[in-house]
Amino acid sequence: MTEPILEARGLTKFFPTKRGTVRAVDDIGFRMSPGDTLGLVGESGSGKTTTAQCVVGIYAPTTGDILFHGRSIGATAAKRSKELKREIRIVFQDPGSSLNPKRTIKQILATPLAVHHLASGREQLARISALLERVELPPAEYLYKHPQSIGGGEKQMVAIARALATDPSFVVLDEPTSALDVSVQAKIINLLLGLQKEMGLTYLFITHDMSLMRNVASRVAIMYLGKLSEIADTAEFFQRPLHPYTKMLLSSIPVVSDEEESLKPAKGISRGEIPSPVNIPPGCSFHSRCPSRLDVCDKIDPATVEVAPGHVVRCHLYPGPQEGSS
């Protein structure tokens, strides 16, 4: 693997509440190479968004660290350098609430340029126009519009342009299409893929949509109750899913042909609700929903094992060398 652009090491983020401690992210690790798209997939409450928020500095980790080009960045944005804030940007799920309705698109895009002292006056206008062109919005038509006068897809294009204003190398995409009509989702995805190629971007793509990852991600990571249950390169992941939770997610993907249906993992899986993150079951946190559970599963938390180069799984069905040897 080339030198990672971003690495999470033993990353945890806990939130104390009146009902107990929410273990939102619990000792996870992953590495991303430049140009990667890591699809971080999980149900609501899995910890994927909290992980993303630690990467962009909305939260500081409770323990563990995040490294960017080998240097620790594990602090909130307030403590990060301006250079780091320019390099790591985020596109939020709902462009409607992330864009100030009182400001024109020109003013919205001017803000990061001004905050980071990147351009002012005529140069600023030229850069704003170039950003709009980059996201396929004609400047003459959109510069002086307000967010409420444009559609959801166009708002998300403006949000993407705002994220790109500082010429970042790493962008967190927090469910960037899930709040949009199906008709514009493909357009936004194609735009993001084109921009990645053109600008050499690395994406951390947060989603609950497993089928989207097949076409977008270079690697896929599955989160469940704050922990990573499986990570693999996309082709390996879809050809040889191992973790019972991954198989459950894959079995529920809608398909359009009998051929695709035959490639899906068998169903036969009881799909209960995800347990509360303040009351995580002992042993493997998936054991209450798992159709393959073993006697050990409700007692001992499984170790993380690399079962093939780059393919990592956390499950007693795939014991490490020591666990498996008699």
Judged by the rule CB under 6 A, the positions of this chain that interact with ligand SF4 are 244, 284, 286-287, 290, 292-294, 297, 302, 315-317
- Cβ at position 326, least distance to ligand SF4 in Å: 19
- Cβ at position 243, least distance to ligand SF4 in Å: 6
Compute the distance between CA of residue 131 and CA of residue 235 in angstroms, rounded to an integer.
33
Compute the distance between CA of residue 279 and CA of residue 89 in angstroms, rounded to an integer.
33
Q: Which residues contact 274 (CB under 8 A, 6 or more apart)?
A: 43, 44, 45, 46, 224, 225, 289
- Cβ at position 15, least distance to ligand SF4 in Å: 24
3-class DSSP state of 304? strand
- Cβ at position 5, least distance to ligand SF4 in Å: 31
Angle subtended by helix axes 152-164 and 121-134, to nearest 10: 130
- Cβ at position 91, least distance to ligand SF4 in Å: 32
- Cβ at position 245, least distance to ligand SF4 in Å: 6
Q: Based on CB atoms, which residue is closest to ligand SF4, 55 or 305?
A: 305
**Positive or negative: CA dihedral 181, 220, 24, 242:** positive
Burial of 215 (0-12, 13-18, 19+ CB in 10 A): exposed
Strand partners, 308: 311
Q: Based on CB atoms, which residue is closest to ligand SF4, 127 or 287?
A: 287
Q: Based on CB atoms, which residue is closest to ligand SF4, 113 or 232?
A: 232
- Cβ at position 297, least distance to ligand SF4 in Å: 3
Compute the distance between CA of residue 319 and CA of residue 326 in angstroms, rounded to an integer.
12
3-class DSSP state of 87? helix
Compute the distance between CA of residue 169 and CA of residue 45 in angstroms, rounded to an integer.
28
Q: Based on CB atoms, which residue is closest to ligand SF4, 35 or 281?
A: 281
Q: Based on CB atoms, which residue is closest to ligand SF4, 170 or 286?
A: 286
> 30 φ, ψ to 5°?
-160, 160
- Cβ at position 28, least distance to ligand SF4 in Å: 16
Q: Which residues contact 111 (CB under 8 A, 6 or more apart)?
A: 162
One-letter-per-residue 3-state SS of 215-278 = HHCCEEEEEECCEEEEEEEHHHHHHCCCCHHHHHHHHCCCCCCHHHHHHCCCCCCCCCCCCCCC
